[in-house]
Structure 1
Amino acid sequence: MKTALTIAGSDSSGGAGIQADIKTMITNGVYAMSAITALTAQNTTGVSGIFDVTPEFLAAQLAAVFTDIFPDAVKIGMVSSPALIEVISERLRFYQAKHIVVDPVLVATSGSALASGGVPDLMKKLLFPLAEVITPNIPEGEVLSGIKIQSESDMERAAKEIGDSCGCAVLLKGGHSINDANDLLYHNGTFTWFTGKRIDNPNTHGTGCTLSSAIASGLAKGLSLPDAISAAKEYISGALASMMDLGHGSGPLNHAYRI
């Protein structure tokens, strides 16, 4: 059994964060573990509270995992404070973690801010260089690159800027604002487009968490990065196409649609 670790926040409504990550990893055939960075009080309509764990306790969680069941891949999601980013970076280097996927969670689907000042710059400095791939969406790509993204050529410029400056592959997620679910991978100096079909489902809570966890699951199982991305997009399309409808806002995906 291959294993994967999610380092992320908890979503009390179960649609995003470590809850989405664990559901995704299990249904993609790997054993899931977690190190929680923060508790959030949130649901499909927004985030009403964030309670960070202490850096010391996050380090203790990471030690508990790495010294017992060493993960074959690591997914990093919501990290809302600079001190926690520093702990994650130092500990992942110490344990020589492999197949790291970073989803730079800066803004929730509902529009709620999830990170404090200084977090994007510190992610670029400490976390992205450790990553096999990072998975920003368009708003996150704009923050990280300083480029206004309004077209596919803008996506290419932004992905190249982030990838070249941070030394990692970048999967910039197009989303409906630019194109029909087409994502751009910038890897080893080349661009690869992953086309997807638009699924008319307003319930997209946790899509970013789910995609990055599915990619990490594929890498844990030994897939190449392009193959892991393709498999992850197929999985998330199925979870959206299931048309589950829960909550009063942007509802969660059906992570268990294959079961």
Structure 2
Amino acid sequence: MKTALTIAGSDSGGGAGIQADLKAFSANGVYGMSVITAVTAQNTVEVRSVQDIDTDIIRDQIEAVFDDIQVDAVKIGMLSKPETIEVVIEGLKKYKPSFIVLDPVMVSKGGHHLLQPEAVEKLKELLPLATVITPNIPEAEVLTGLTITNLDDMKKACEKIYELGVKTVLLKGGHLNSEPNDLFYDGQTFHLIEGKRFYTKNTHGTGCTLSAAIAANLAKGMSLLDAVQKAKCYISVAIEHSLDLGHGHGPTHHFYQLYKKELAFNE
């Protein structure tokens, strides 16, 4: 059994964060573990409050997992303050996992800022440790200072993020007024990862889910580009069959294929 560890915040609504990551790990065939960096009180409509976890507890969680269980890949999500980022950097340098997928979570679907402004520069110190970073358009604009409106802008942003020291960049294009095509850049070659737009408001946790699926695929031994492409297929199905739960942005369907098989079996 391959394993993956998520280092991220908890979403009480179950659609994003730690909850989404663990579902995506399971759906993609790996054993999931977690280090919780913050607890959020949120649902499909809003984030009501955030409680950061004490850094000593974060450090203890990291050490408890790595000291006992083989970690084949790490996915990193919400790291809201500089002190949290620093303790995560310390842990990664100590244990040196083979694969690190960094999803730079900055703003919730409802517009709540999940990364403190003073933490942005600290987050850049984490980039050289990452195997791949998976920003969306707004996050890439914060990291680069660029305005991104088309594919050429995406290429420039990828190059600028790559210069910050990350090994590869997956820039997600879902915020553009076109098909949700993502751009993969390894410092030499651009690969366009094509997607299909599904007109649904139920997209809560899509970024978390995609990055977790990439981590799961890397844990299973896929090449990085194959891991990204397979994860893109997975999240596309999850969005296509997303769940109309709550009064806001409902969650994606992490286990659609499993539920489909179960329904067919019961029939």
Within 5 Å, which residues of 2 pair with 1:191-210? Answer: 191-210=190-209
- What is the alpha-carbon distance in structure 2 between the residues aligned to residue 83 and residue 173 of structure 1? 27
Equivalence for 1:155: 154
- What is the alpha-carbon distance in structure 1 between the residues aligned to residue 93 and residue 212 of structure 2? 20
2:135 counterpart SS class: coil
**1:54 counterpart = 2:50:** no
Asked if 1 retains the 8 angstrom alpha-carbon contact of 2:82 and 2:119, the reply is yes
Q: Among all aligned residue pairs of Structure 1 and Structure 2, give the percentage whose two residues are the same amino acid.
A: 54
Q: Deviations over 1:117-148 (max 9, x none)?
A: 221211112x1100000000000000001100
Within 5 Å, which residues of 2 pair with 1:1-259? Answer: 1-125=1-125, 127-259=126-258
1:178 Cα deviation from its structure 2 partner = 4.2
Asked if 2 retains the 8 angstrom alpha-carbon contact of 1:240 and 1:254, the reply is yes
1:118 counterpart SS class: helix
TM-score (norm 2): 0.95
Q: Deviations over 1:149-186 (max 9, x none)?
A: 01110010011101122232110000042431100011
1:98 counterpart SS class: coil
2:163 counterpart SS class: helix
- What is the alpha-carbon distance in structure 2 between the residues aligned to residue 220 and residue 188 of structure 1? 23
2:75 is matched by which residue type in structure 1?
K
1:175 counterpart SS class: coil
1:15 Cα deviation from its structure 2 partner = 0.2
- What is the alpha-carbon distance in structure 2 between the residues aligned to residue 107 and residue 180 of structure 1? 22
1:26 counterpart SS class: helix
1:243 Cα deviation from its structure 2 partner = 3.6
- Return 46-55 or 165-174, whichever deviates more: 165-174
Report how many aligned residue pairs link the two structures: 258
1:152 is matched by which residue type in structure 2?
L
Gaps of 5+ in 2: 259-267
1:20 is matched by which residue type in structure 2?
A
- What is the alpha-carbon distance in structure 2 between the residues aligned to residue 15 and residue 165 of structure 1? 31
Asked if 1 retains the 8 angstrom alpha-carbon contact of 2:242 and 2:250, the reply is no
- What is the alpha-carbon distance in structure 2 between the residues aligned to residue 145 and residue 176 of structure 1? 16
- What is the alpha-carbon distance in structure 2 between the residues aligned to residue 189 and residue 148 of structure 1? 22
- What is the alpha-carbon distance in structure 2 between the residues aligned to residue 96 and residue 253 of structure 1? 32
- What is the alpha-carbon distance in structure 2 between the residues aligned to residue 214 and residue 73 of structure 1? 11
TM-score (norm 1): 0.98
> Moved runs in structure 1, 4+ residues, more than 6 A?
none
Gaps of 5+ in 1: none
- What is the alpha-carbon distance in structure 2 between the residues aligned to residue 138 and residue 220 of structure 1? 27
Coordinate RMSD, CA, aligned: 0.9
Q: Deviations over 1:1-47 (max 9, x none)?
A: 00000000000000000000000000100000000000000111111
- What is the alpha-carbon distance in structure 2 between the residues aligned to residue 166 and residue 78 of structure 1? 20
